[in-house]
Amino acid sequence: MKKFAIILSLLSIILVINSCNLKRPAKGFEDEIYVVADSTEFEYLRTALESTFEKVIYTPQPEKLFTLKRIDVSRIGHYERTKNMILVAPLNSGSRTSKYIESVTDTAVRNKLMNDPNFVLYKYDLWAKGQLVVVLSAPSLQELEFKILQNSDKLLYTFQKISDKRLYSSLYNAKYEKKDIEGRFLKDYGWVIYVQADYKLALNRPDENFVWLRRSPGSDMERWIFVHWIDNATPEYLNADSIKAIRNRVTKKFYRTSDDEAYVVIAEDYFTTTEVNFNNKYAIFTQGLWDLNIKGMGGPFVNYTFYDEDTKRIYMLDGSVFAPKYYKRNLIQQMDVTLQSFRTANELTEDRKEELLDAVEE
């Protein structure tokens, strides 16, 4: 009995220690980055930081990818659970932020910050679950400014990816997942994409290799997703002109007004393509604006187009937003994250395939 009591006490101590070590989720808005910096150093670095993180997208109104908010290092304790944070100061400058960075990094890290022009310290889950804290430092303000600009693409990408990961965790809910529709896609077409409960299968055209999912049709906050694929294709389709032509051809056929008088086209004002890694495949990521051929309505879209070697298919995954009364930066990110859930049958585990196929039979 005494031995049992000792074991029980030890288990209680372990549980208390583990509960103390559990970190609460990071909080705040996805599009905010808190910058811990002294005011004078921040002003010197402001242009470099803003050009890196406050890039503008058009939806069609201009919206920033992230908004920077400077806080003094003395207030860092009030913001320890924020989702996105940057600590920035030259080492040995004597500023309070510089001294703080010195106090929280070891000698090896400080040496790399001082001597490697491309070294940036990324800390995940530092004070909260799902948090990203970045430490930017260099020997001087001039060198620190150059480091920010030199590494701007990677810095922005890193914050975007952790934001996407957090957003997917909040969007994905197995309880409200339409596994029957996902299973039908897997069974009939050999691929799957996450379908939330409030999406409806608006159009399913196996003869045209086209599937259309809609959320809140007829409302002032619509979202559309389509998957289109080309069989027996080659990677030659992976260029901006082909992507624009294919999308316009598909939307002209399927994205039409109820009276069949107008259809969706890519607007001329804004269209950018970027080479990206989509689930270990080379892909072209497109951002742009859609419009009606007779004008009158429009909004942003995002698009991934890639070649799948196993099936010899070109896949086009596309997400659009129509929300004229709202800011759309976060809505289009939701589209982006949903498109990233796409997987071919070969990329699914056997258990996952069995789960989805069973849902079709129920």
Q: Each residue of 305-349: pLDDT tens digit?
A: 999 999 999 999 999 999 998 999 999 999 999 999 999 999 999
The mean pLDDT of 64-80, rounded to a whole number, is 96
Last residue in a domain, options 136, 152, 170: 170
Last residue in a domain, options 124, 145, 170: 170
Partners of 213 in beta bridges: 201, 225
Considering the domain architecture, whether residues 304 and 209 belong to the same structural domain is answered as yes
Region of 32 on the Ramachandran plot (φ > 0 left; ψ -120 to 50 alpha; else beta): beta
- 165 in any annotated domain: yes
Report the DSSP pairing between strands 84-88 and 32-36.
Answer: parallel
Q: What does the buried/exposed string (b/e) look like for 75-91 if buried means 16 or more CB atoms within 10 Å of the residue's CB?
A: ebeeeebbbbbbbbbbb
Report the distance separating Cα 179 and Cα 168, nearest Å: 17
- 11 in any annotated domain: no
**Each residue's pLDDT tens digit, 131-186:** 999 999 999 999 999 999 999 999 999 999 999 999 999 888 888 899 999 999 99
Considering the domain architecture, whether residues 267 and 298 belong to the same structural domain is answered as yes
Give the range of the structural domain holding residue 105, as residue numbers without chain letter: 22-170
Considering the domain architecture, whether residues 118 and 234 belong to the same structural domain is answered as no
Q: Identify the residue whose tokens are 């080659």.
A: 234
Last residue in a domain, options 120, 150, 170: 170
| 3-state DSSP assignment of residue 327 | coil
Considering the domain architecture, whether residues 230 and 329 belong to the same structural domain is answered as yes
Report the distance separating Cα 319 and Cα 195, nearest Å: 13
The DSSP element (H or E) to which 77 belongs, if any, is: none
> Which amino acid does the sequence have at 208?
E
Considering the domain architecture, whether residues 257 and 139 belong to the same structural domain is answered as no
Considering the domain architecture, whether residues 164 and 216 belong to the same structural domain is answered as no
Q: Which residues, other chains included, contact 21 with Cβ-Cβ below 8 Å and sequence gap of 6+? A: none
- 10 in any annotated domain: no
Considering the domain architecture, whether residues 185 and 144 belong to the same structural domain is answered as no
> Which amino acid does the sequence have at 287?
Q
- 8 in any annotated domain: no
Considering the domain architecture, whether residues 213 and 298 belong to the same structural domain is answered as yes
Domain count, the chain: 2
Report the distance separating Cα 119 and Cα 109, nearest Å: 9
CATH number at residue 219: 3.40.1000.10
Considering the domain architecture, whether residues 247 and 321 belong to the same structural domain is answered as yes
Q: What is the model's pTM?
A: 0.86
User: Can you give the pLDDT at residue 7?
Assistant: 46
CATH number at residue 117: 3.30.379
Polymer length of the chain: 362
